[in-house]
Structure 1
Amino acid sequence: MTALAPLRTETDQRFAPARMRRTVLEMAYAGSTVHIGCAFSIIELLTVLYRNYLRYPENNPLAEGRDYLVLSKGHGVMAQYACMRELGWLNDSHIQNYFKDGSELKGLSDSRVAGLEVTSGSLGHGFSVGVGIAMGLQRKGTDQKVYAIVGDGELNEGPIWEGALVAAHHRMDNLMLIVDKNGFQAMGSTDDVLALGDLSAKFASFGFETLEVDGHDEAAIEAAIHQLWANGLGKPKALIARTVKGKGVPFMESDNRWHYTRLNAQTFAKAINALGLTGATK
C-alpha cells in the first residue's frame, strides 16, 4: 500500500491544543456534564489526525472518498467535537448549547451527527465496527484509511481482541488502532482493575505492526503515524500512545475524579486560567 504523506502545511494554525481544550471546557461547563479528563488525553492525537492525515474531500464529513475516524472510546467525544468546530462542521451555538434540551450533540459518539462514524460509549464494539469498515474499503480497493481510537481500559473487553484477530488475518494494512494509554478507567487505574501488561508485545503477537509514542508530542505522533504507513508490511497498525488523563490543566492531570466531576464557576475559571486563555461566562 502506498505510504500516506502528511497533509500538514506550516501555515495551518488550526487545532492548537490549548484552544481545543478550551472548547472542551466550554462544552462541559455549558452542559454541566462529565468526561473532561478522558477528552483531554486524546487532544494531541486528534489534532495530528485532523490537521495532518484525515482526508475529507471538499471538507465534507460525509464524502464518499473520506478517511474514517472511529472513536471507540465514545465518552471522549468532546475532543472530537472541538476538532469539528475547527473544521466548520460545528458552530458556536453547538458549543454553547451542548447537552442541553434540543441539542444535536450527545455526551457519547453518535453516528447521527455528521462527522461521527459510530455510535459508541458501550465500550468494546467500536473497534470492531472500524474493522468492518476497513474490510469493506479493502475489498473495494481504495486507498482510504481507518483510524480507530480506543481507551486502555476498553482493552478489558473481549471484542477488541476478536477484532484484532480478524484485522490481522485479513492483513488490513489500511487500519490503524490508536490506544489512548492514560492509565485509568472509570473506576480506577488500569493496573488495579485489570493489568494490561506490554501492549506493544500483545498487539505484535496478534499480527500488528506496532509503535509506542508520547501521546502529547505532536511531532512524535506525526512521525510515528507516517512511519507506520510508510513501512508497507501488509499488516494492520497499532500506535500505543502514552497519555495523561486530564492533560493540560494541572489540577486535573492524573486525577481520576475528573472522569465524572462537573465544573462549577470556580473550577471553570481556574481551568481556563491554567490554559493561559481568557475565560467565557456561562
Structure 2
Amino acid sequence: MNLKEKSKEVRIETLKLHQRAKEIRIASSLSPIEIFVSLFYGGIFSFYPKDPLNDKRDRLIISKGHGSICLYPILADCGYFSKNELLNISKPGSFLGSIPDPVIPGYETINGSLGHGLGVGSGMAYALKISDKCQKVIVVVGNGELQEGSNWEAIMFAANHNLDNLILIMDSNKKQMLDFSINILDIEPFKNKFEAFGWECIEISDGHNCDLIIDGLQEAFSNKNHKPKVIIVNTIKGKGVPSLEQSPLAHVLSLSDLEIDEAIKGIENE
C-alpha cells in the first residue's frame, strides 16, 4: 500500500467531514494524519475491527481527542463501521460527533479534558504488565497538552514501574489554542526532559513521512529495555491548508466551503 497516497486520501476525507460539521477542530485533525495512517496500515499495531475490544488488541488512547477526527475515515476504511456513517457526522442519531466518544468503535476512552490520556494509558500498561500480557499501549498527545501537570505525574509513574509496553506519541505541531506554544509556555526541549525522567526518546524530523514514523514505531515496539518510550513526531498544524499552516490561531479557525474545495484541489494536485 502506498501510505503517502493513503494519507492524501484521509486528508481529503477529513476536510469533507469539516465541510459537513464546521465545529470540528480541523487544523488539529490535519497534523496527526500520518501518525494514524502509520499505525493502522503499517503492519505493527494489532487491532480487530470486527471485535474492537478483543483482548489481544494493542490499546490506543487518543488524549487529544478533538484533534483525531481524521481517524474517522481510517476506522471506516478498516471496517470498524460503514463508510456511509461519515455522511452523518454530528447529525442526530449518529455516533460520530465533533469530539470523539468511546461509543465509536475503535476509541477506548473518553477524550475530552486534556491531560488525562497518559495517566489512563499508564494504568492500562501497568495492568497488562503485571498480568504478563504482551500487548502495547499507545497514547497520542499534542505538544500543548504536555503543559498539564497530570502528564508529568504519569511520566514519573511509567518510568518508576518500567513500563516498556507504553509508547507515547507526541503530535508536536508547535501550536495550541491561541498561539504558538513557545509564546504560551515554552517547555522545550522535550527530549531532554523525557530522558531525565527515565524515558527512551525517539524523534521524527518529518511527521508527514510515514516511512520515518513506521521506523520509529518499530524501534519502540521492539526495544525491551525496561523504559517507556516517547516518539516526538514533528508535524505541521493544519497540514495541507496553507492558511492554517501559517496562522498562529489555526486551532480555532474554521474553513469556508470555498476554502475547503480549494484545499482539496491542492492536495489532489500534489
TM-score normalised by the chain length of structure 2? 0.93
Please tell me whether residue 225 in structure 1 is matched to residue 217 in structure 2: yes
Task: Answer whether contact 1:81 1:90 (CA < 8 A) is retained.
Answer: no
SS in 2 for 1:220: helix
Whole-angstrom distance in 2 between the partners of 1:57 and 1:38: 26
Change beyond 3 A, Cα 1:254–1:149: farther
Show the counterpart of 1:280: none
Q: Paired residue for 1:23? A: 13
Residue 258 of structure 1 is matched in structure 2 by: 250
Q: 1:66 to 1:82 in 2, by over 3 A?
A: same
Q: Note if contact 2:32-2:68 (Cα within 8 Å) is conserved in structure 1.
A: no
Which residue is 1:188 aligned to?
Answer: 179
Equivalence for 1:49:
39
**Matched residue of 2:236: which SS?**
coil
Residue identity over aligned pairs, in percent, reads 33
Quote the offset at 1:15 in angstroms: 7.4
Cα distance in 1, alignment partners of residues 238 and 49 from structure 2: 34
Q: Which runs of 5+ in 2 are unaligned?
A: none
Shift of 1:209: 0.5
Aligned to 1:6: none
Rounded to whole Å, the distance in 1 between the matches of 2:252 and 2:134 is: 39
Partners of 1:115 and 1:61 lie apart in 2 by: 6
The secondary structure found in structure 2 opposite 1:128 is helix
Matched residue SS, 1:184: coil
Which of 258-267 and 187-196 deviates more? 258-267
Which consecutive residues of structure 1, in runs of 5 or more, have no partner in the other structure? Answer: 1-10, 278-282
User: Does residue 241 in structure 1 map to residue 233 in structure 2?
Assistant: yes
Q: Alpha-carbon deviations, 1:93-143, whole Å to 9, x = none?
A: 321111122221122231122210111120001111111111111111111
Note if contact 1:33-1:99 (Cα within 8 Å) is conserved in structure 2. no
Higher alpha-carbon deviation: 151-160 or 226-235: 226-235
| Amino acid of the structure 2 residue aligned with 1:20 | V
> What pairs up with 1:123-202 in 2 under 5 angstroms?
123-202=114-193
Whole-Å Cα distance in 2 between the matches of residues 94 and 71 of structure 1? 21
Distance in 2 (CA, whole Å) between partners of 1:91 and 1:264 is 27
Deviates more, 1:221-230 or 1:170-179: 221-230
1:230-260 CA distances to partner (integer Å, 9 max, x unpaired)?
3321110001111100112223214243322
* Partners of 1:212 and 1:239 within 8 A in 2: yes
How far off is 1:59 after superposition?
4.6
Whether the 8 Å CA contact 1:245–1:256 is kept in 2: the answer is no
- The superposition leaves residues 16-74 of structure 1 with CA deviations (integer Å, 9 ceiling, x where unpaired) of 11100111111111112231111111000111111122212475322121011110011
What is the distance in 1 between the residues matched to 2:259 and 2:94?
Answer: 24
- Identify the match of residue 85 of structure 1 among 76, 81, 84: 76
Q: Give the TM-score normalised by structure 1.
A: 0.89
2:57 to 45, 66, 77: 66
Question: In structure 1, what residue type is equivalent to 2:26?
Answer: I
- CA 1:178/1:76 → structure 2, altered by over 3 Å: closer, same or farther? same
Inter-partner Cα distance in structure 2 for 1:107 and 1:101: 12
